Amino acid sequence: MAPMSITREEVAHLARLSRLALSDAELDRFAGQLDVIIGAVARVQEVAAEGIPPMTHALPLVNVLRDDVVVPPLGAQAALAQAPAAEQRRFRVPRILADEA
Amino acid sequence: MDGELIRRTAADLAAAVAGGEVSAAEVTQAHLDRIAAADDRLHAFLHVAAEPALAAARAVDDRRAAGDALGPLAGVPLALKDVFTTADMPTTCGSRILAGWLPPYDATVTRRLRRAGVVILGKANMDEFAMGSSTENSAFGPSRNPWDLSRVPGGSSGGCAAAVTAFEAPLAVGTDTGGSIRQPAAVCGIVGTKPTYGGSSRYGVVAFASSLDTPGPLARTVLDTALLHEAMSGHDPCDSTSVAAPVPPVVAAARQADVAGMRIGVVTELAGEGYQAGVQARFGEAVELLGSLGAKVIEVSCPHFRYALPAYYLIAPSECSSNLARFDGMRYGLRVGDDGTRDAEEVMSVTRAAGFGAEVKRRIMLGTYALSSGYYDAYYGKAQQVRTLICRDFDAAFEQVDVLVSPTTPTTAFPIGERADNPMAMYLADLCTIPSDLAGNAALSVPCGLAPEDGLPVGLQIMAPALADDRLYRVGAAVEAALQQRWGQPLLTAANGLGDD
């Protein structure tokens, strides 16, 4: 069997970076699957691409500007209508700092 | 149920409504009845908006009664992929994280359809966040293929394709990022187009891979597809990647339906190992047919197409890992674990773990990997260079030919569950469709027959340069007309997975 291109520990790290609280069972499963996928996509490295410019986008568009026209905003009521939690016309979110900062 | 009404084309229905032969409300009711009778087995729709649809239809009837001129699709029902925002219907993207979400605004495509008098019947099922080729990744359960209910309808716009195939709607609007319109159209035996990137607005389309996502039409005939293509397209100041160019003359091209003198290239690399025998056979016949209709057919090599699939599965996940960061449970959508013991970051992680399905998680992690320092040059950077080389292959090919052709998919519709635990096998369904997404040019799938070994539809893919979308319709309509003459009836007459004919 070919050497692993990605380890379970690396997948756990990716999950943390991705803000995904995965279970142990998920980590086991994804580690094997991602290893196969990364092995397959690594084929791009076979291509001789020396000096070839990278393409980020299909269109040669830069700095698309529009006229600076005032349009009615969404409004607080509409913006908050689908919030998981709201208070005092604001989004209510869990604490972002630890108790002892 | 008015069986005759639901089998008519969109062009026919619009003319019948405009001429007063039938009301838009009757047309809409006939399709709602069909949905009521068939969709418990198909699951093409995630949400059916019966009352709003009937109200929209009555508005068209009122405008007609008042003597207003109606557009070419006024009063025609449509299934809208659940990735387009709709202010009066939930928009879920097939994801638990957006279950029940009611967007505060309409997508530009939604708005254009409404303005054209198109009647939106409801929201069509899809692979979660448009990631998949089967609709099995929908958090709300798969859609089924109307040819054989044990098989997938393709994806990610599989609900759209199933609805159109089963006569629940004559039209649907989907999105194509790696083949998500053309692949389901092909395996369901209907027509689907990925327009030129930027030809149709992404404003209000929940983003998967922003440099690739392209809204486009699905329908049962090439002309209906062209009519919808024209109605939904055009420059949109709300989308900075929208093309400020006129919509190519797709409807005129569909009516022209003539390939005499056109140069058509068969892509050498999109054939061989992994392609089902019946797919290759039907494709070969379609190519012969094009020659007999007066086209000049040659073989063209696009050597870097072999690397399109790996490049795509680096670029699309990279963009997705960034785009899906917005689903954090703070401002809208699901929030899990906010019990006072967890801080915001922990709530985000628990919410995303509970709200996203396996394929979305895989792609977010794959993209995070490809973009991380130390791997960026070897993966994402290299994939972007391959993207340039694929564009150059297209440029060189289009110096020799007007359009390129290939099978749309390597195989016909596969059984539900067959590839569910094998992501790489699932990814192969997009083998032929990905090059046009990476290049941002235009491509269409049109049915070219049934594979003899399984009796399931095969699609012919036609690819054209950016902003030459009209060529797709010229060729597609010619193939459609010649094949229907040969078959003596539309292909879909043979579809009987629902057992109702």
ipTM of the complex model: 0.94
Asked whether residue A65 is domain-assigned, the answer is: no
**Looking at per-residue confidence, does A75 or A2 come out higher?**
A75
DSSP B394: H
Yes or no, beta carbons of B365 and A26 under 8 Å apart:
no
Contacts of B310 in chain A (CB under 8 A): 40-44
The Cα–Cα gap between A62 and B241 comes to 9
B438 min Cα distance to partner chain A (Å): 7
What CA–CA distances, in Å, run from B87 to A45, B128, B328?
A: 45, 20, 21
Residue-number span of the structural domain to which A41 is assigned: 8-46
Chain B interface disruption, residue of A41, A57, A74, most B CBs within 10 A: A41
C-alpha dihedral sign at B205, B206, B207, B208:
negative
**Nearest-CB residue to A40 (from B424, B441, B466):** B424
User: Buried b / exposed e across B448-467, counting CB within 10 Å, b at 16+?
Assistant: bbbbeebebbbbbbbbbbbb
Asked whether residue A16 is domain-assigned, the answer is: yes
Using an 8 Å Cβ cutoff, are B446 and B480 in contact?
yes
**Nearest-CB residue to B102 (from A11, A61, A82):** A82
The Cα–Cα gap between B384 and B195 comes to 22
Block residue for tokens 């395996």: B187
**pLDDT at position B301:** 98
Active site residue B361: no
Yes or no, beta carbons of B440 and A93 under 8 Å apart:
no
Q: Which residue of A has its CA nearest to B343?
A: A95
**pLDDT at position B1:** 44
**Residues near B351 by beta carbon (within 8 Å), at least 6 away in sequence:** B97, B327, B328, B329, B334, B335, B336, B337
The encoded tokens of residue B152 equal 């997938």
Query: Which tens digit of pLDDT belongs to each residue from B253-265?
Result: 999 999 999 999 9
Residues 11-50 of A with CB under 8 A from B: 11, 14-23, 26, 29-30, 33-34, 36-38, 40-47, 49
**Residue B377 phi, psi (nearest 5):** -65, -40
Yes or no, beta carbons of A26 and B424 under 8 Å apart:
no
**Residues near B261 by beta carbon (within 8 Å), at least 6 away in sequence:** B294, B295, B296
When pLDDT is cut at 50, 70 and 90, the band that residue A3 belongs to is low
Contacts of A64 in chain B (CB under 8 A): 240-241
- pLDDT (mean) for A21-39: 96
**Residues near B21 by beta carbon (within 8 Å), at least 6 away in sequence:** none
Asked whether residue A59 is domain-assigned, the answer is: no
Q: Which amino acid is at A34?
A: L
The Cα–Cα gap between B33 and B105 comes to 29
The Cα–Cα gap between B21 and B339 comes to 60
**Which of B11, B16, B115 is closest to B73 using CA atoms?**
B11
When pLDDT is cut at 50, 70 and 90, the band that residue A100 belongs to is low
Q: Which residue of A has its CA nearest to B392?
A: A52
pLDDT lower than 70: segments of chain B: 1-3, 501
Contacts of B334 in chain A (CB under 8 A): 84
Q: Exactly one of B133, B157, B180, B242 is catalytic; name it.
A: B180
Asked whether residue A42 is domain-assigned, the answer is: yes
Q: Which domains does chain B have, with CATH numbers?
A: 3-304+388-492 (3.90.1300.10)
Residue A98 near chain B (CB below 8 Å) = yes
DSSP B54: H
pTM of the complete model: 0.97
Contacts of B356 in chain A (CB under 8 A): 20
The Cα–Cα gap between B431 and B491 comes to 24
**Residue B337 phi, psi (nearest 5):** 85, 15
Contacts of A98 in chain B (CB under 8 A): 343
The encoded tokens of residue B436 equal 């046009």
Asked whether residue A79 is domain-assigned, the answer is: no
The Cα–Cα gap between A43 and B383 comes to 10
Asked whether residue A2 is domain-assigned, the answer is: no
**pLDDT at position A25:** 96
Active site residue B372: no
The Cα–Cα gap between B458 and B445 comes to 9
Using an 8 Å Cβ cutoff, are A55 and B304 in contact?
no
The Cα–Cα gap between B461 and B264 comes to 12
The encoded tokens of residue A68 equal 């600076």
What CA–CA distances, in Å, run from B466 to A54, B202, B228, B303, B458?
A: 19, 17, 19, 20, 25
For chain A, percent of residues with pLDDT exceeding 70: 92
User: Buried b / exposed e across B226-265, counting CB within 10 Å, b at 16+?
Assistant: bbbbbbbbbebeebebbbeeebbbbbebbeebbbeebebb
Q: Write the CATH number for A25.
A: 1.10.20
**Residues near B288 by beta carbon (within 8 Å), at least 6 away in sequence:** none
**Residue A47 phi, psi (nearest 5):** -80, 130
Residues 52-91 of A with CB under 8 A from B: 52-59, 61, 64, 66, 74, 78-79, 81-85, 91
Active site residue B349: no
The Cα–Cα gap between B264 and B404 comes to 6
From the CB of residue A3, how many other CB atoms can be counted at a distance below 10 Å? 6
Domain count for chain A, please give it: 1
The Cα–Cα gap between B119 and B58 comes to 10
